[in-house]
Structure 1
Amino acid sequence: MHVHVNAATSADGKLASRTREQLKISGPQDFERVDHVRAQNDAVMVGVGTVLADDPSLTLDAAERIEKRESTGRPAHPARVVADSRARTPTDARILDDTAETYLLVSEAASESRRAALADAGATVVVAGEERVDLTAGLDALEDHSIERLMVEGGGELIFSLFEDSLVDELSVYVGSLVVGGREAPTLADGDGFTADFPRLDLVGVDRLDDGVVLKWNCKHR
């Protein structure tokens, strides 16, 4: 599976403020870029923290991209994937509407009642891992559902875990012209952090969009 992590950060690397409220970091040109990248992938993935904070739909905006996917025999929108170890996704979350297929990766620690409720709400529930989602096993299971290209849009805990497991192939980051600050504000890659054997990247592109830049890297697997 090809995994493309895409994110927008402030100039100091923050995804949001310390209150976890969504920030407008980029503008219309980058929104267009993100919609284009989504359309190229089979699924779009976020962590449950993003679902709880932002209630995203993770669907395409441009009608011509929807029509192009349908004309080639693909679903109108990429599938949605949520890494949700304890099955905390609300049953009325927008990602559980019938616009696109939704997969929830949960661990064995998620209660049977929550798993059943989310399945009843329309999700395909995939159990991978004991106490927390085993991302390697989870992504392998997604491949069984014909997901070969996966776009990951955050948050920082999920992105760090993907890097930790050497699962990231490509990273693109829009860096906006604002400073957020705050030691509690989420960053591009949170989690425990690396102290050695740092993931290495090859810079392959720099593009100016809106009032910021998009940096593109290919990832060297450790």
Structure 2
Amino acid sequence: MPSPACLASSQAKSRPFATAILAMSADGKISDAHRTAARFPSAADKRHLETWVADADATLFGAATLRAYGTTALVKDTSLLAIRHRQQRPPQPIHIVCSPSGQLPPDIPFFRQPVPRWLLTTAAGSQGWQGQQQFERVWTAPHQGTEERFHWPTIFAELKTRRIHHLLIMGGGQLVADLMAHDLIDELRLTICPLIIGGQTAPTPCDGSGFSLQDAPRLTLVGHKTIDDEVFLHYRRQRATLP
């Protein structure tokens, strides 16, 4: 889990501590050019993901990620469920789907999974979900300027007011890029899987327009381990002061 010092610092601030967790191929792709569900990680990586889902107060992921998989990651391990119970937390964290359009297939298994669900969307995207029961909360996100681009600092501040202290970012690459650009990701947990995907249009852990070398976010490697053919990396975002 995030170090007590980092969480304490985050809890004293106005936003959650944010962990991005992703698995990628050895050549840095999180899916193929068709953006199909990336089911290449091993059972060890699935356990790794479940551990971090269990530690989170909420998860956040993009609509394309949900459309590809149709489901979200659940806490199933009895020992992890017992820890959440002792901490007086619900069995599953809140699962927040980020979708400006609000266009999600209503019949996917995600809507039958036993998790609290929120939709983060625009005024237009919320229209089709008014009066529906699939989401506990349909949240029209604050946006910046005349474009309906989410104003992430305000969104994160509101998450904090709702007692979300640890937020787990589960993809995709565009969402990670947006949050990186706003300096809202505190640590990156990256699994390198033993395959090559390739493809100019295949997504990476951080898509978007990219950063110049001068402005590229810098990371510090604070932990690593190898299980069979996979490498698990833990990076912390470099900052002059703690977030």
TM-score between both structures, scaled by the size of structure 2: 0.84
Q: How far apart, CA to CA, are the structure 1 residues paired with 2:135 and 2:118?
A: 9
| Aligned residue number for residue 10 of structure 1 | 25
| Aligned residue number for residue 224 of structure 2 | 206
Q: 2:134 corresponds to which letter in structure 1?
A: A
| Aligned residue number for residue 99 of structure 1 | 114
Q: Shift of the alpha carbon at 1:98?
A: 5.9
Query: What is the CA deviation profile of residues 91-119 of structure 1, one whole-angstrom value per residue up to 9, with x for unaligned ones?
Result: 33433336121121112342x522415x5
Q: How many percent identity over aligned positions?
A: 28
| Aligned residue number for residue 171 of structure 1 | 188
| Aligned residue number for residue 126 of structure 1 | 139
> What's the RMSD between the two structures over aligned residues?
1.8
Query: What is the CA deviation profile of residues 40-84 of structure 1, one whole-angstrom value per residue up to 9, with x for unaligned ones?
Result: 111111111101111122211212211321232100011101111
- Partner of residue 116 from structure 1, selected from 107, 122, 130: 130
Q: Shift of the alpha carbon at 1:6?
A: 0.5
Q: Shift of the alpha carbon at 1:221?
A: 4.2
Is the partner of 1:120 in helix, strand or coil?
A: coil
Structure 2, unpaired ranges of 5+: 1-15
Q: How far apart, CA to CA, are the structure 2 residues paired with 1:121 and 1:33?
A: 28
Query: What is the CA deviation profile of residues 149-198 of structure 1, one whole-angstrom value per residue up to 9, with x for unaligned ones?
Result: 01111100001111001000010100011100001111110011112411
Q: How far apart, CA to CA, are the structure 2 residues paired with 1:115 and 1:139?
A: 23
Is the partner of 2:149 in helix, strand or coil?
A: coil
Q: 2:160 corresponds to which letter in structure 1?
A: E
Q: 1:123 corresponds to which letter in structure 2?
A: E
Q: Does 1:190 align with 2:207?
A: yes
Distance 1:210 1:137, change over 3 A: farther
> Does structure 1 retain, via aligned residues, the 8 Å contact 2:119–2:135?
no
What pairs with 1:47-126 in structure 2 (closer than 5 Å)?
47-97=62-112, 99-110=114-125, 112-116=126-130, 119-126=132-139
Is the partner of 2:123 in helix, strand or coil?
A: coil
Greater mean alpha carbon deviation, residues 126-135 or residues 175-184: 126-135
> Does structure 2 retain, via aligned residues, the 8 Å contact 1:6–1:171?
yes
Greater mean alpha carbon deviation, residues 121-130 or residues 89-98: 89-98
> Does structure 1 retain, via aligned residues, the 8 Å contact 2:118–2:135?
no
Aligned residue pair count: 220
Displaced runs of 4+ in structure 1, greater than 6 A? none
> Does structure 2 retain, via aligned residues, the 8 Å contact 1:27–1:210?
no
What pairs with 1:153-164 in structure 2 (closer than 5 Å)?
153-164=170-181
Q: Shift of the alpha carbon at 1:204?
A: 0.7
TM-score between both structures, scaled by the size of structure 1: 0.91
Distance 1:115 1:142, change over 3 A: farther
Q: Does 1:140 align with 2:153?
A: no
